[in-house]
Amino acid sequence: METLHQPRAGTPQGAVISPLLANIYLHYAFDLCADQWRKYHAKGQVIVVRYADDIVMGFQHEREAKRFMGDMRQRLEKFALSLHPEKTRLIEFGRFAARDRESRGMGKPETFNFLGFTHICSRSRRGVYQLKRQTRRDRMRARLRAIKEELRRRMHESIPLQGKWLGQVVRGYFEYHAVPTNSRCLGTFRHYVVHLWRRSLVQRSQRDRTTWNRMATLVAEFLPLPRILHPWPSVRFAVKHLRWEPGA
């Protein structure tokens, strides 16, 4: 006999409907309030990026960031919501963060995680400021563990079937993570996938003779090479917005 449960709060973790409901609810609880606050209270530039219930905001002035955080706590309480105590942080980040912190005798700017990437204040080869995005280490390790377990389950499948499946996995991983400044992480991911595949093949039999030369042939046949697939943020933004607007 099946039992029907009707929760009175929240949505099921991982359910398909959860992101949709989060977007609808937060549109009224957060988006409209943030837009009004930016128009009528902010003196400097304010940038808002939200995906479901993950939010990153950029403020030109620190005092306004602190004020908005306090106002938003009160706003969310009216909707029976609260800011995550561990994930909600106020950090110094951006084009002048490293210079300003160095002048005060402080270390490098803090990093933050958003949508599977670690965002870092960095410099390009020409020495100018550059936002660096790298795949989160914990997410990569989790994905590699999942691949290891699946390879164990597929251990006795034919090599072409394994190669075809692994190729799809690596290609799908690259489709999301192949952003500018993340090429090293792409190569690292592919490198460990190759090692996991070889280990799985060797464990199939005590007489297995899968050499690295043999692996090189299999890898060239089935696994795509790491390459950047996404444009730079400035290029993508220029396509949608013909001129820079702080609130765009």
* pLDDT mean over 211-235: 91
pLDDT at 18: 80
Return the minimum-mean-pLDDT range out of 11-25, 41-55, 83-97, 101-115.
11-25
- pLDDT at 248 exceeding the cut of 80: no
Domain locations in the chain as residue ranges: 17-87, 96-134, 137-231
- What's the pLDDT tens digit per position in 74-97? 999 988 888 888 889 999 999 899
Kindly report, residue by residue over 59-74, the tens digit of the pLDDT. Answer: 999 999 999 999 999 9
- Given a cut of 60, whether residue 247 has pLDDT beyond it is no
Least confident of 2-16, 18-32, 110-124, 160-174: 2-16
Q: How far apart are CA 9 and CA 79, in angstroms?
A: 12
Tokens, residue 150: 């699946």
Choose the weakest-confidence range: 27-36, 123-132, 186-195, 207-216.
207-216
Between 240 and 207, the higher pLDDT residue: 207
Mean pLDDT of the chain: 89
5: confidence class by pLDDT, cuts 50, 70, 90: low
Distances (CA, A) of 217 to 21, 32, 79, 119, 173: 48, 55, 58, 36, 21
Closest Cα to residue 114, out of 89, 95, 92, 97?
89
6-15, 94-103, 144-153 — which is least confidently predicted? 6-15
Look at residue 8 in the predicted model and tell me its pLDDT. 65
Task: Judge whether residue 6 has pLDDT over 70.
Answer: no
> What integer pLDDT is reported at residue 81 of this predicted model?
84
